[in-house]
Amino acid sequence: MREKPRIISSETVAATRIFRIEQLELQFSNGVCVSYERLQSGSEGAVLVIPMVDNDTVLLIREYAAGMHRYELALPKGRIEAGEDLLTAANRELMEEVGQGARRLRHISSVTIAPGYIGHVTHLVLAQNLYEQRIPGDEPEEIEVVPWRLSRLNELLDREDCTEARSIAALFMVRELLT
């Protein structure tokens, strides 16, 4: 395994309430020095919840995705609040976005997106034995809940409004886990 580059310096060049952009000066083990920029999450990470009604039916949500300026069909997700463990965060997000709680929560994996320049981890949580429970969230409008069968996953991928990579990966992982 290669030795990680040495961080010579790190400077925040921009910041928002959610992210900060850092400029890193790095020296690699072969002596080459380079500048990198990375987007760092300002939180404890995020959870993405896979709420299963049964072994074939998942509850998706349709909500506005500002990055793409459209409505996207995906799994419920949200940030982990300070001091909150990931299973508590997952159940909270499920109650806020889907109106369901889960009696059984299981962390199945953790994933990154574009790790070459984004420092953010999303924890994938399987939610089973669901029950009705809604709590207020921070969503600006009501979120539509869309039941979908994992046995029809290929049809979901053909849709133009289902492109969120973390959701797609999680759906395949859960399908393999439950079948």
pLDDT of residue 94: 98
Q: Residue 17: what pLDDT?
A: 83
* Model pLDDT, residue 118: 93
CA distances from 110 to 35, 73, 89, 99 (A): 28, 21, 14, 24
Share of the chain residues as helix, strand and coil, in percent rounded to the nearest 5: 20, 45, 35
What pLDDT, on a 0 to 100 scale, did the predictor assign at position 134? 96
What sign results for the dihedral spanned by CA atoms 66, 67, 70, 75?
negative
Domains and CATH numbers, the chain: 6-41 (no CATH), 46-178 (3.90.79.10)
What pLDDT is recorded for position 155?
97
Is residue 43 scored above 80 in pLDDT? no
